[in-house]
Structure 1
Amino acid sequence: MNGRHDDVPGPSTTPRPTDWITTPITAHLLRGALDLERTEHGVLPHRLPARARSQCADGQLAMAEAQPSGVRLVFRTRATAVELDTLATKTVYQGAPPRPDGVYDLLVDGRLAGRENAPGGNVLIVDITTGSAETRPGPVGTVRFADLPDRVKDIEIWLPHNEITQLVALRTDAAVEPVPDTGRKVWLHHGSSISHGSDAESPSTTWPALAASRGGVELINLGLGGSALLDAFTARALRDTPAELISVKIGINLVNADLMRLRAFTPAVHGFLDTIREGHPSTPLLVVSPILCPIHEDTPGPSAPDFINLNAGKLQFRAAGDPAERAAGKLTLSVIREELSRIVKQRAVEDPNLHYMDGRDLYGEKDFAELPLPDQLHPDAATHRRIGERFARLAFGTGGPFAAECA
């Protein structure tokens, strides 16, 4: 496995020092996780608290929330070499093209300085036709970064956004300490697989990570692939997590899963927002509707795999619903956008810190013509960059709903 890019230093061949320092991995060194579970191998970061996890037995949610999108190890050190032992769980979808291995991004004082993969790991094999899954155990692997600047610096290791990652050991050739609080605002975001980072290049280049970097905020990413379903336990997690800025991106998973009708959707949105407001009564709260997704703009779900181009190495999706069923209350993206806009307008009369953003301002028809969704649902790496840049400008920039807090 080789995760190197031409503009990023690769692994060093320098021999391992004999005086490595092993530092316990604790919550003091982690950002972006809501819970830290002790395992037989080490610690497993979770993006939903234990109580939320206990209230839903869905395998997709369990996989998504344990994939550490936005979670990073952060410490201060003058070490020139860092090793991280991890036990990843890599997902393989039978019948689909192979997925790239997860990437670890190393940032030095906020700038990308290394990018690596981890060998070994468990393999979760999922049959996309039946939904059945089995896990085959594998060994612990080591990610190594060397030839780092010989000075005191802040290190961030962004964990793979698309692999469950148990942290086994952290070794350095100099002592580490937690980075003091910088006073940066915390941005808490919830959304679907697009927010989770599906098909982004790396964990620090998902669109929320890019937007957070441009906005100068600390990210907690509760983007949960396939699982942005207005679940009450997710709303409570948002309610109970300290943050100065909150956004929720609602819509595509409800159509993907064909989960509810308009009659249930409207009160569910109100209830979700009510719960968040119990813990954050005046925090800027931004409701974001879905980006453009042509297959579901006017056709309800569910989404279904489309195997027509599988021989060419492409797995795509299609809308399996009937447009005529809109009359019976089935949801499409256009229906959801209209209703979200109406709900926010209604509530904003008494909640001036509630805001709405049309997702097509992040990715719309012109963008689709230039950068189409490769599988008809998820943006590619270039589109993640575009969405991140636009969100930063529209939300954190002058006149944006988060601008005053970030000034």
Structure 2
Amino acid sequence: MPDHVRNHSAGTESDPAVEARGRHCDPPADSAREPCILYTEGDELYAAMLAAIRAARRHVCLESYIFSVDEVGRRFVEALQERAANGVRVHLMVDAVGSLLGFSRAVERELRKAGVQVRRFHRWSWRRPWLVNRRDHRKLLVVDGRQAWLGGYNIQRECSREVVGEARWRDTHVGVGGCLARRAQLLFDAFWYQRGDRVPTPECPADHSVLLSNQTRRGRLHLNRVLHRMMAGSRHTLDLTTPYFVPTHSIRMALQAAARRGVRVRLLVPRRSDVALAQWAGRAVYDEMINNGIRVYEYLPRFIHAKTMVADGERSLVGTANLDYRSLLLNYELVLQSRQRELAAGLEARFERDLTEAREVRAEHWRRRPRTARLAEALAWSLRRWL
């Protein structure tokens, strides 16, 4: 069962082919009190997403950094084909780099033949080669503008207990409805049609939640401000989970300032990573973090891919953004900012549970690591702006 329950509904969009969808929806709101559903098991998430796709009546919009047509991805391909063949408008956006190996041209043709509109984000272009460094790291599903899901889960077998067993990735996703689903629809449309400037960047009122996108420069600055405000505004506790910890200078300073104020700052990262270079770069700042009062934990049993932050058990962030240079400065991300205590409590409970399977990095032990490890960390840190 999902860790945190309840659901809601509604819908929206705008642009040529989008206006027909928009007529079925109320005007969008910037924020909402609707409860959220927290998912920490891939099989439960995929089942909920597939059920919603199969029940779609008007439109399905799916976006994923990695879309692998394996035991998991094939089910999504078939569900999208079936809906498109029955007159439902289906949009699929995959990242050209993230889905390079798992999403073949043959599958793309298969989907197009069924009526699915497919895009590969930022294919390689000799005319604009610099775009290869800007990736669509978002994971989003919106169905009929009434239900939406976002978070860390990609469409891939690695996240399924049914397929890979206990070695599955530990991740976090959230399901939303109502005004949040309508805003998710707007954000998908803005990205699909590259019109991010038409979607306002909202603040988050008390007891509300908002969806934040960094598609535009203003949105990117706002998301960074939200991160810093949560760190600067924390009074008692600050708990962060990230698979790739390659923090910018300002993030490091904000975390250390919180610890110096007496805030209990805990950072959870994976012991084993799928990107060794990023892990070495992150370990290069362990000394600095620990010496400034930040408690660092490494999750032991499997790879942890969740991206969450909880401050004082009251405010939270969950989404696609890592605490690294790529997410903060380069990639396109989507984050739920919430001031709902119920969601914060669910995320906090999961964090405490994860800590029971983690080991704290102690200063005395860390200082004894071999010189080869220190060299790898230094080399990786020199490449941090690309990680």
**With structure 1 as the length reference, what TM-score do the two structures score?**
0.30
TM-score w.r.t. length of structure 2: 0.32
| Structure richer in helix, relative to its length | 2
Between Structure 1 and Structure 2, which shows a larger proportion of strand residues? 1
